[in-house]
């Protein structure tokens, strides 16, 4: 479990630290608390990805699976994008990606939300590096002929078809905006979007939570 500020405070007080000295020690322990959150976030991301790929985390299969690490990094990306707002695709909701709500208080907008958001993002970057991807240009998101989203990097590819539907849809909408030249909702994302307008349109239409089709937009 990740170390909390309260736990540090109790530990240090029990050791005799007080007042200004106590506060100094608590601030200095912030890096260690962050590292403990990153470690727990990595375990959660690997657990989610293992389940989606049918890997057995107890057998440590994940540690040798580049596709698993790539998928886990993509899940961190999905959490970063989020859901909510207009069309449920602007990332304004406090909800975390399913399975990550067990981290801290479980909400992006909770008092510990920013700290856990940073930890999840860092964990995703570490897993991405372990998968062999060195920068955002080296991994890509692209639609498949089946209307799914696939993530590729370091010679590996893995489908996001088993990812939570709402988050898939939000990601597809972001991809569509980018390929038509519209301002992205998430310009800071360190990943490349590939594909044509027609391909991303087909993916958005397939993932449409209301079950509409392309002709509905012309009515």
Q: How confident is the model at residue 59 (pLDDT cuts 50, 70, 90)?
A: low
Quote the domain boundaries for residue 80.
5-218
Angle of helix 113-130 versus helix 30-53 axis, rounded to 10? 60
Span 63-73, mean pLDDT?
Answer: 86
Q: Model confidence at 219, in pLDDT bands (50, 70, 90)?
A: very low
d(CA 174, CA 200): 9
Higher local confidence (pLDDT), 153 or 61: 153
Predicted confidence band at 66 (pLDDT cuts at 50, 70, 90)? confident
CA distance linking residue 148 with residue 159, whole number of Å? 7
Q: What confidence tier does 62 reach under pLDDT thresholds 50, 70, 90?
A: low
What per-residue confidence (pLDDT) applies to 134? 81
Contacts of 71 (CB under 8 A, 6+ apart): 49, 52, 53, 151, 158, 160
Which SS3 state, helix, strand or coil, does residue 89 take?
A: strand
| SS3 call for 56 | coil
CA dist 7 and 58 (Å) reads 29
Count of structural domains, the chain: 1
Mean per-residue pLDDT over the chain, rounded: 91
Cα 201 off chain centre by: 23
- Average pLDDT (26-31) is 93
pLDDT at 150: 98
Residue ranges of E strands in the chain:
139-143, 149-153, 156-159, 192-193
Label residue 215 by pLDDT band (50, 70, 90): very low
Q: For 137-193, write each residue's pLDDT tens digit.
A: 789 999 999 999 999 999 999 999 999 999 999 999 999 999 999 999 999 998 999
Nearest Cα neighbor of 100 from 162, 45, 46 is: 45
pLDDT-based confidence at residue 87 (cuts at 50, 70, 90): very high
Q: Shortest CA distance to 79 belongs to which of 118, 112, 53?
A: 118
pLDDT at residue 1 is higher than 60: yes
């Amino acid at each position: 479990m990740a170390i909390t500020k309260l736990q540090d405070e109790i530990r240090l007080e029990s050791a005799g630290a007080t007042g200004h000295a106590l506060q100094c020690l608590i601030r200095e322990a912030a890096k260690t608390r962050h590292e403990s959150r990153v470690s727990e976030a990595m375990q959660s991301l690997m657990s989610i990805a293992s389940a989606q790929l049918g890997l057995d985390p107890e057998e440590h299969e994940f540690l040798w699976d580049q596709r698993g690490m790539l998928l886990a990094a993509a899940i961190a990306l999905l959490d970063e994008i989020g859901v909510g707002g207009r069309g449920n695709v602007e990332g304004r909701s406090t909800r975390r990606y399913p399975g990550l709500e067990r981290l801290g208080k479980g909400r992006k907008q909770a008092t510990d939300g920013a700290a856990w958001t940073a930890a999840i993002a860092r964990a995703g970057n570490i897993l991405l590096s372990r998968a062999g991807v060195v920068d955002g240009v080296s991994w890509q998101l692209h639609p498949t002929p089946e209307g799914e989203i696939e993530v590729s990097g370091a010679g590996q590819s893995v489908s996001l078809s088993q990812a939570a539907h709402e988050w898939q849809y939000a990601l597809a909408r972001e991809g569509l905006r980018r390929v038509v030249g519209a301002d992205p909702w998430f310009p800071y994302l360190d990943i490349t979007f590939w594909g044509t307008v027609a391909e991303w349109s087909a993916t958005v239409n397939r993932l449409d939570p209301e079950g509409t089709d392309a002709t509905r937009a012309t009515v």
